[in-house]
Amino acid sequence: MAGMSDVDAHAERFDAKAADYDDSNSPEYRACLELVIDHARELLRRSGDGVTARSDSGEVLLDLGTGTGAVALALAGEADRVVGRDVSEGMLERARRKADERGVGTVSFDTGRFREPAYEGPVDVVTSNYALHHLDDAGKREAIGTIAALEPRAFVLGDLIYFAEPDEPAHDPSVDDPATVGHLADALTDAGFVLTAVERVTDGIGVLVAERAR
Ligand SMILES: C[S@@+](CC[C@H](N)C(=O)[O-])C[C@H]1O[C@@H](n2cnc3c(N)ncnc32)[C@H](O)[C@@H]1O
């Protein structure tokens, strides 16, 4: 992968993994995924209860680093429109196929990056599961700034997150580069979010719920 950008290298790696991705996940991944889905569902259900969608055509959920659509497809019935973005065409292809097989017409999957989501228009809730750690810490901060600029009322982030620093490096940072919970909390609050829930799955995995300060 010499000469490739980091993002292109991740895209190529996930293209190669796409066929087996859905069968290769750990119990910790599933726990994190379920927490992201539950928190996002609860936030979407607040609509109508004193909370209004940003667009007249209803609520939009944007799922970044959507992969094969685990979060996006689980929440298809909860928002009027669900938009999935990823850098890997192989993963997106799987996500589209699953949407077709399930007859879900309100979800669309296209190329987009954390720092260039390629989505115009109002977004109510942003989700991301197990993907932001592919950026380095400065990139994560930039991505959080990009998400905040979309002005969602909440961002639900599940990821590899260090709640305690490991004694030995647990990952190759060119592939997986988790931030500490402190770094993410700073980046989220600096971008104008308030942390309303922190869920630790393990010392290295968790979910942060960030809501826009009113
Ligand atoms: C471990 S998968 C997680 C997929 C899905 N969110 C899930 O929970 O199953 C990580 C995904 O992040 C994507 N990704 C990596 N870097 C990205 C970037 N800069 N912008 C958007 N997606 C990215 C990869 O292509 C991959 O599909």
Contact 155, 188 (CB under 8 A): yes
Can you spell out the DSSP letters for 162-203? Answer: ESS--SS--S-TTT--PEEHHHHHHHHHHTTEEEEEEEEEET
Supply the DSSP string of 27-43, one letter for each residue. Answer: HHHHHHHHHHHHHHHHH
Mean pLDDT, the chain, rounded, equals 94
Least confident range from 38-52, 53-67, 68-82, 123-137: namely 38-52
C-alpha dist (Å) from residue 33 to 69, 76, 131, 192, 213? 11, 15, 11, 25, 25
For 172, other C-beta atoms within 10 Å of its C-beta total 8
- List Cα–Cα distances, 152 to 66, 121, 167, 207, in angstroms: 17, 11, 37, 17
Whole-number Å distance between alpha carbons of 70 and 196:
23
* Closest ligand 1 atom to 114 CA: 20
Q: Which of 75, 94, 128, 130 to mutate to test the pocket of ligand 1 (most atoms within 8 A of CB)?
A: 130
Q: Which atom of ligand 1 is nearest to the CA of 36?
A: 8
| Cβ pair 56, 124 in contact under 8 A | no
So what's the pLDDT on residue 50?
76
SS3 49: coil
The whole model's pTM is what? 0.96
Measured CA to CA, the distance from residue 75 to residue 95 in angstroms comes to: 13
What pLDDT, on a 0 to 100 scale, did the predictor assign at position 3?
Answer: 59
Q: List residues bridging with 200 in a β-sheet.
A: 206
Q: Write the single-letter amino acid at 81.
A: R
CA 50 to ligand 1 center in whole angstroms: 33
Selected residue with higher pLDDT from 47 and 213? 213
Rg (CA), the chain: 16
The model's confidence at residue 14, banded by pLDDT at 50, 70 and 90, is very high
* Residue nearest ligand 1's atom 10 by CA: 131
The domains of the chain, with CATH numbers, are 6-212 (3.40.50.150)
Q: How far is CA 164 from CA 12, 21, 161, 168, 203, in A?
A: 31, 28, 9, 12, 5
Q: Name the nearest CA neighbour of 188 among 126, 118, 111.
A: 126
- Bridge partners of 212, per DSSP, are 193
When pLDDT is cut at 50, 70 and 90, the band that residue 1 belongs to is very low
